[in-house]
Structure 1
Amino acid sequence: MRIAAAALLAFALAACSKNGDLQLVKEAPETRWRMITTDQDRERLRNWRNAWVEALPKARAADAAAIAAEGALFEPDQALGRAMPPAGDYKCRTFKLGGQREGMRDFTAYPWFSCRIGREGEMPNLVKLDGSQRPFGKIYAETDARVIFLGALELGDETIPLDYGQDVKRDLAGYIERVGTTRWRLVLPWPTFESQLDVIELVPA
């Protein structure tokens, strides 16, 4: 088990170092995220597939053409290797699938905004730079096909994002996968507000 973890970490470090400044911490981050995740978010991550199963049919019923047009972005089991996005500036757009309550929209597509993959201290991070809802958080190695995102939601004209764990209503837990040559998605199952599943598409700016 230790050998496998060491091999995974070595791969992640090698993959990130090729992209310049982005490198993971020397201690195995794939175990660290489990140590700090709240009970609520462990449940979210554990039931990620249930979120897809409940939200995707609703979204497809609301706008089948839009779902089909995005191809792999909305295919739950579509995940390629090298899930860790390279450091740099990205265009990102959010899709909300499945309304949490009756009367809420089952599919909403937002326009492109700006995101950045960088680092916070020794850890890779993802930040959405504009828009009224701005995820901000750290990225933890998990497998070659998936990395974990733990963060919080910055709203409106706020200028200082909360740290993960400070406010359960703002906490975000999800995973990042690569679904195309230079196309990634951040999937947030069971977010606090509005939808059953958020999918944030990321492509290099």
Structure 2
Amino acid sequence: MRRFLPVLPLLALTACTPTERPTAGPVAIASAWHTVATTQDRRRLRDWRPSFVEGLRQARAAGHGAEIDREGALLQPDAALGGGIPNGNYRCRMTKLGARGAGMLPYIAYPSFACRIDQNGRLQQFAKLTGSQRQVGSIFAHDRLRSVFLGTLVLGDEQKALPYGADGDRDLAGWVERIGERRWRLVIPSPRFESLTDVVELVPQN
């Protein structure tokens, strides 16, 4: 039986243009991520480092070592410096590491997209506003080093995200980390499609 978590319907964010403000659903009852996360996502978060390392290994083996090295802290698994991420508008740049299946590319670097982080009660809300794959969800406090992201994936011309927990193929979990001066990343281990780890660079627009 598929597990559905009614405590987190807040992820029904509408897809929008960079000039629009995302519309959130009801505020989550729980503010502790481990009371909300599915079993699958708790496993993803626990095993994030092996997924990251294997993705890097595959990408380097395919000849992308120079690109990885140029990214510096962004693609270094243990680069987290501690500190939360402020609300605001961000330039988000996705890098996909490793290939989930035969015929897939082990390294893909996309151009920047528009993202936004807003406050919704006790939680922050993250939304990637443009692109054919848009991650939306909530950011939960975890420890001094990083925060936890739980969300879902919006595809193509869909106007709303599924509630978290409604579809395991769409659910996402990740770590939000500061990696430099005005530079953060969202590490999404073991996404359902394409890659072994997705790394999203977050740089404020102003």
TM range (shorter): 0.7 to 0.9
Aligned to 2:77: 76
Task: State the distance in 2 between where 1:69 and 1:192 align.
Answer: 27
How many equivalent residue pairs? 177
Aligned to 2:67: 66
Aligned to 1:19: none
Task: State the distance in 2 between where 1:137 and 1:96 align.
Answer: 19
Aligned to 2:21: none
8 Å Cα contact 2:136/2:151 also seen in 1: yes
Deviations 1:104-132 (A, max 9, x none): 10000011000001023442111000000
The RMSD of aligned alpha carbons is 1.5
Per chain length, whose mean CA-contact separation is higher, i.e. which structure has more relative contact order (CA < 8 Å, sep 6+)? Answer: 2
Aligned residues: percent identity?
53
Task: State the distance in 2 between where 1:28 and 1:37 align.
Answer: 11
Structure 2: runs of 5 or more not aligned? 1-26
Helix, strand or coil at the partner of 1:51 = helix
Q: How far did residue 144 of structure 1 move? A: 1.5
Aligned to 1:148: 148
Deviations 1:74-97 (A, max 9, x none): 110111121x21010000011100
For the pair 1:112 / 2:112, whether they are aligned, the reply is yes
Higher normalized helix content (fraction of residues): 1
Aligned to 2:190: 190
The letter for the 1-side match of 2:199 is V
Q: How far did residue 28 of structure 1 move? A: 8.5
Structure 1: runs of 5 or more not aligned? 1-24
Aligned to 1:166: 166
For the pair 1:175 / 2:178, whether they are aligned, the reply is no
Inter-CA distance 181–28: structure 2 relative to 1 (3 Å threshold): farther
Task: State the distance in 2 between where 1:140 and 1:175 align.
Answer: 10
After TM superposition, what 4+ stretches of structure 1 lie above 4 angstroms from structure 2?
Answer: none
- TM-score, length-normalised on structure 1? 0.83
- TM-score, length-normalised on structure 2? 0.82
For the pair 1:57 / 2:57, whether they are aligned, the reply is yes
Task: State the distance in 2 between where 1:56 and 1:88 align.
Answer: 30
Listed as ranges, the matches of 1:23-102 within 5 Å are 29=31, 32-62=32-62, 63-82=64-83, 84-102=84-102
Task: State the distance in 2 between where 1:120 and 1:167 align.
Answer: 23
